[in-house]
Amino acid sequence: MRVTAWNILCDFDGTISVEDVIDSLLDRFGRPGWEALEQDWRAGRIGSRECMSGQVALLDMRKEELDTHLDGLWIDHAFPAFVARCSELQTPIRVVSDGLDYAIHRILGRYDLDHLPLAANHLAPATPPRQWQLTSPFQAEGCRSGTCKCACVAQARKTSGKTLLIGDGASDFCAADQVDFVFAKHRLIEHCRAAGIPYVPITGFEDALDLLPRLLDGSLLAEHVQSVLPAVSNF
């Protein structure tokens, strides 16, 4: 198999993880007010960084409660095998998330996958006890997200090869416009279809594992780029 060099950027919440981590935390530990922030974000009145910063400030939990909750959350059962196969094929993966770094590290650590490079918001305890704060070390000027995934794409493009995005929702829309190919779940499928972005729909990492050889030998990209090219008139 002729192998083309690729960099893989992979969303976490709803893509690697079975459920959205911050949503599960807010449902269990959120004080009143987080729903209004969610509505403002969905309506476009605020960006995800402002929304999440405000929601994290409304979490009421001890670290022990946080850890116990995170230890009950799961990832896609085929993701460890996907990571192992990418390692065998020398295809780097970076987790790019608008979620919480501490949560991602703890969950992936149960699968010995916390070595994966990560770009995410930083969760830290605040004062008084049971309070938390969020900072965004991977934000970018002009971007309202906590983690600017477009900046992560630009960084990946500085290395040789092409870039694959694996994602599922609104936080992946802008980055999907910038990469060479997308493995899409849920809302990202419709965005890629509407925008004419080369993609394949997946239900999980079993599909991604099956598609990986065709991605690396170039046939998958060639097939889907051809399918979204505009028709050329002979007249």
pLDDT at 34 over 60: yes
Average pLDDT score over the chain: 93
pLDDT band at 233; cut points 50, 70, 90: very low
Each residue's pLDDT tens digit, 37-53 = 999 999 999 999 999 99
Per-residue pLDDT, 33: 97
Q: What is the pTM of this model?
A: 0.93
pLDDT band at 227; cut points 50, 70, 90: low
| CATH no. of 6-227 | 3.40.50.1000
Average pLDDT estimate for 56-62: 97
Per-residue pLDDT, 235: 40
pLDDT band at 107; cut points 50, 70, 90: very high
Per-residue pLDDT, 159: 83
Per-residue pLDDT, 116: 98
Per-residue pLDDT, 1: 52
pLDDT band at 226; cut points 50, 70, 90: low
Average pLDDT estimate for 21-30: 97
pLDDT band at 163; cut points 50, 70, 90: very high
- Rounded to a whole number of angstroms, the distance between the first and last alpha carbons of the chain is 40
pLDDT at 231 over 50: no
Domain ranges for the chain, please list them: 6-227
Each residue's pLDDT tens digit, 164-217 = 999 999 999 999 999 999 999 999 999 999 999 999 999 999 999 999 999 999
Per-residue pLDDT, 232: 42
Higher pLDDT, 118 or 2: 118
Per-residue pLDDT, 234: 45
